[in-house]
Amino acid sequence: MAFGARLMAAMRDRGPLCVGIDPHPELLERWGLPDTPASLVAFADAILDASVDSAAAVKPNSAFYERHGSRGIAALEYTLGRAREMGLLTILDVKRGDIGSTMQGYADAYLAKGAPLEADSITVSPFLGVGSLRPAFELAEHTGKGVFILALTSNPEGASVQHAKGPDGHVADVIARAAGALNEGKEPMGSVGLVVGATVGTAIAELGIDLEAVNGPLLVPGVGAQGGTPADVARVFGNVRHRVLVSQSRGVLQAGPIVEELRGAIRAASGAAQYSLARTNVDE
């Protein structure tokens, strides 16, 4: 089954929440854990155990593992494998983007079947041109994986590039149209998604972006600690809310390290997102 179909099923069964696994030093300290590779494993294990019933996916952030060198990468490999055994979809947040054989190498590292760091999907950066990501698109299509392209991110600096207009239109719109072309005709949705922040406000309309035509999942950070709310998600994403996967990290991870308390926070976040989207549908 293609990633888009698997993700849609998971969102239907478990709710539209993606839980970030971000073991940055401050959060490890808050949990009473030392900043070591062993703590990365313990941290992620608690999140996986707490997420399995109420999250459609988990999103390990590769940067916080890479800073520990080879033992950190081993911890990431373990976490990706355990999530797979538990039936939790993974979005590996690596934001890779390059050209030619280098991009092929990144694709092989994360999207090939049986790769040590195999994930269900990855985030990619299109700012060397969307076409440079073709090796990832092609391998993902072959192995049933997914790719999320950065399009309209929640950080304020992103607008200087993503809102810029070139001969083919605004950068973010060019990215969205490329994703739509790759997803055309796919049911229930394609496997090439976009990363679009919950805090982008009216930018989608102002840039002329047709998210419905993307026909793929929308990974939406910015809810919780960054100030966005489930109501913002419903308002910003309108008639494509059924494809929105809300990503939260600090907003729920602060409830750890006790698994039961973490599970409650994740369940509440998933329910809030689901209720808000459903309520807005009723109101309309």
Of 111, 115, 141, nearest to 124 by C-alpha is 111
Phi, psi for residue 33 in degrees, rounded to 5: -110, 140
- Domains of the chain, by residue range, sit at 3-279
What residues are annotated to the active site? 95
**Residues 159-167, mean pLDDT to the nearest whole number:** 95
- Would you state the pLDDT for residue 248? 92
pLDDT digit string, tens, across residues 223-276: 766 667 777 787 888 889 899 999 999 889 999 999 999 999 999 999 987 876
**In 10 A of CB 254, how many CB atoms?**
15
Tell whether the torsion through CA atoms of 37, 48, 63 and 222 is positive or negative: negative
Task: State the average pLDDT for the chain.
Answer: 93
156 pLDDT band, cuts 50/70/90, is confident
Tokens of 244: 């929105």
pTM confidence score: 0.95
- Would you state the pLDDT for residue 201? 84
- Would you state the pLDDT for residue 273? 79
The CATH architecture annotation of domain 3-279 reads: Alpha-Beta Barrel (3.20)
Higher pLDDT, 250 or 43: 43
